[in-house]
Amino acid sequence: MSGPADALLSRVYRLLRLRDKPAGHFVMRAIDVTRAKWSLRGHKVGRGVSVQGPLFLDIQGELEIGDRVSFVGNVLPTSLIVRAGAVLQVGEESVFNYGVSLEVSSRITIGRRCMFGSFVRIGDRDGQREGPIVLGDDVWLAHGVIIGPGVTIGSGSVVAAGSVVTKDVPPQSMALGNPARTMSLSLRTGVSDS
C-alpha cells in the first residue's frame, strides 16, 4: 500500500491502539460518558454513567439508571426494552457487558454493584408466566445467564455461566445449571479467589 491510503490506515491503526494506552483510557472514558448522555437522553440517569458501545433502547415505560452505572464492551449492543406501564430500575455502579438483553413488561429492579456478563438475558414475561424480577445488591450474573419471570436473587449471590434461573435464589448463594439449583457459595471452583 502507498501514499494517502497508507497514511489513512496508519491513522486508523493508531486510533485503534488508543484504548490500550493509559492516556487513551482517559479520553475514551470522556467519550463513553458523553455517549451515555446522548443514548440515554430523556430518561432518569444518574451521574457518571458511561456507555462504551452501541445501546439499543425501546423505552415506553419508565427507566431509572443509578450513578456510575456502566455499559462496557462493544462487540454487540446491549438492549433495554421497557413496555408501557413497566419500570426498570438499575442500582448504582452496576456493570453491563455487551449483548445483554433486559426486557420489562411489569417491573425489574436491580440493586447496586450488580454485574452482568455478556449475553445475559432477563425477561419478566415469557410465553407462560409473568412476574416482577428483583436482584439484590452485589449480584453477579456470569456469561449467558438467563433469568426467568418472577425470580428474586438475594444480595451477594452468583449465577454460574450458562445457567437458567427459574426459581428464587437466596442471598450469598451460587445458582448453577439448567434449570439452576442453588448451592453454597463456598462450593466454588478449585481455582478461584483466596
Partner 1 sequence: MLFDLATTLTSQIALRSRATLGERVKIRGRIRAAGGGEILIGDDVELDGRWAPIELHARPGGTIVLGRGVKVDGGVSIEAKSRVEVGERTVLRGFCKVLDNHFHPLSGDRHRGAPPSNPVIIGNDCDIGWRALILPGARLGDGARALAGVVVSRKVPAGAVIGGSPPVLFKSTVTG
Partner 2 sequence: MDTRSLIRGFIGETFFVEEFRDDDSFLQKGVIDSTGMLELVAFVEERFEIKLDDAELVPQNLDSLDNLCRFLETKQKKT
What cell was used for 12?
Answer: 486508523
Question: What's the rounded Cα separation, in Å, for the pair 28 and 25?
Answer: 5
Give the dihedral of Cα atoms 156, 68, 63, 71; nearest 10 deg.
Answer: -80
Q: Which stretch binds partner 2 (CB under 8 A): 4-12, 69-77, 122-130, 184-192?
A: 184-192
Residue 176 lies near partner 2 (rule: CB under 8 A): yes
Q: Which stretch binds partner 2 (CB under 8 A): 76-84, 86-94, 147-155, 174-182?
A: 174-182
Q: What sign does the dihedral 185-80-64-93 (CA atoms) show?
A: positive
The DSSP string of 112-178 is TT-EE-TT-EEESB-SS-B--EEE-TT-EE-TT-EE-TT-EE-TT-EE-TT-EE-S-B-TTEEEEET
Residue 184 lies near partner 2 (rule: CB under 8 A): yes
183 binds, among partner 1, partner 2, none (CB under 5 to 8 A by kind): partner 2
Residue 145 lies near partner 2 (rule: CB under 8 A): no
Q: Which stretch binds partner 2 (CB under 8 A): 1-9, 62-70, 97-105, 176-184?
A: 176-184
| Residue 105 or 182 having the CB closest to partner 2 | 182
Binding residues vs partner 1 (CB under 8 A): 9, 12-13, 16-17, 19-20, 74-76, 113, 115, 118-119, 138, 140, 142-144, 156, 158, 160-162, 172, 174, 177-178, 185, 188-194
